[in-house]
C-alpha cells in the first residue's frame, strides 16, 4: 500500500505568510542610485576651500575687471574720434565742392549788367551760399598785403609792384577759404617781386 504524505494546511499558511513580508521588505528597501547630475552637485568638503577665492584671488579679479573697463572706455573714445573724423572729412569734401559754385556766382555778379529781378535773384542766392558757409565755419581769407605763405597761398605769378614790397601778396586771383582753424582751399595769388628799381 502506497502512503502519500499530506502537508498540514496550517503549516502551508504559515509558510506563505512568512515569505510574503520578506518580499515586501526587499521591494521597499530598493533605493535608486544617484544620477550623474546629482553626483556632480556633490562637493567634497576637502575641495570646498579651493572653490572659495582668497584675498589675492579677489584682488586679481578686480584688477582684471578694471583693466577690461578701461580698455572698453578707450575703445569707445577711439571709435567716437574715428567717426567724428570721418564726418568732418565728408563735410570738408562737400564744402570744398561748394566753393566752386560760390566762385561762379561771384563771376556772374562781377560782370557789368543792368539791375533786374534776375540779377537780384542771383545776388540773393550768392548771399545765401555765403551765409551757409559761415554757418559751417567757412570764412574767406584776407590775403592782400600779407606775406606770402606757401601753406595758405598758391603763387601763380610774380609781378613787379609799386604798392607792395617784395614777397607780399599784391593780387588775389582766386579767393582762399579756411574751415575753422584749417585751410580749406589755398588762395591763388600774385606775389610782388618789388618795384622795377629794386627787382
CA dist., res. 123 & res. 45, Å (int): 91
Residue 141: count of CB within 10 angstroms of its CB: 21
- Residue ranges of the domains in the chain? 59-136, 139-199
**pTM for the structure as a whole:** 0.56
Annotation: CATH topology of 139-199: Nucleotide Exchange Factor Grpe; Chain A, domain 2 (2.30.22)
Measured between alpha carbons, how far apart are the two ends of the chain, in Å?
A: 168
Torsion of CA 166, 170, 175, 180, to 10 degrees: 50
Q: At what angle do helices 55-110 and 117-135 cross, to 10 degrees?
A: 160
**pLDDT per residue of the chain (199 residues) written in tens, 0 to 9:** 444 444 454 555 444 444 444 444 444 444 455 554 554 455 555 555 555 557 777 888 888 888 898 988 888 888 888 887 777 767 888 899 999 999 999 888 888 777 888 888 989 999 999 999 999 999 999 999 999 999 999 999 999 988 899 999 999 999 999 998 899 999 999 999 888 765 4
Amino acid at each position: 500500500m502506497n502512503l502519500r504524505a499530506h502537508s498540514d494546511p496550517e503549516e502551508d499558511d504559515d509558510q506563505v505568510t512568512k515569505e510574503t513580508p520578506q518580499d515586501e521588505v526587499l521591494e521597499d528597501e530598493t533605493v535608486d542610485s544617484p544620477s550623474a547630475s546629482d553626483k556632480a552637485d556633490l562637493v567634497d568638503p576637502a575641495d570646498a576651500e579651493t572653490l572659495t577665492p582668497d584675498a589675492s584671488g579677489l584682488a586679481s579679479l578686480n584688477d582684471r575687471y578694471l583693466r577690461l573697463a578701461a580698455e572698453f572706455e578707450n575703445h569707445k573714445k577711439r571709435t567716437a574720434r574715428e567717426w567724428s573724423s570721418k564726418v568732418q572729412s565728408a563735410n570738408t569734401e562737400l564744402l570744398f565742392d561748394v566753393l566752386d559754385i560760390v566762385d561762379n556766382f561771384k563771376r556772374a555778379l562781377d560782370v557789368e549788367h543792368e539791375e533786374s529781378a534776375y540779377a537780384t535773384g542771383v545776388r540773393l542766392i550768392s548771399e545765401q551760399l555765403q551765409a551757409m558757409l559761415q554757418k559751417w565755419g567757412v570764412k574767406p581769407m584776407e590775403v592782400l598785403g600779407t606775406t606770402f605763405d606757401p601753406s595758405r597761398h598758391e603763387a601763380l605769378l610774380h609781378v613787379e609792384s609799386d604798392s607792395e614790397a617784395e614777397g607780399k601778396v599784391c593780387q588775389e586771383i582766386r579767393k582762399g577759404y579756411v574751415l575753422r582753424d584749417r585751410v580749406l582751399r589755398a588762395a591763388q595769388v600774385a606775389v610782388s617781386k618789388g618795384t622795377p628799381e629794386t627787382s
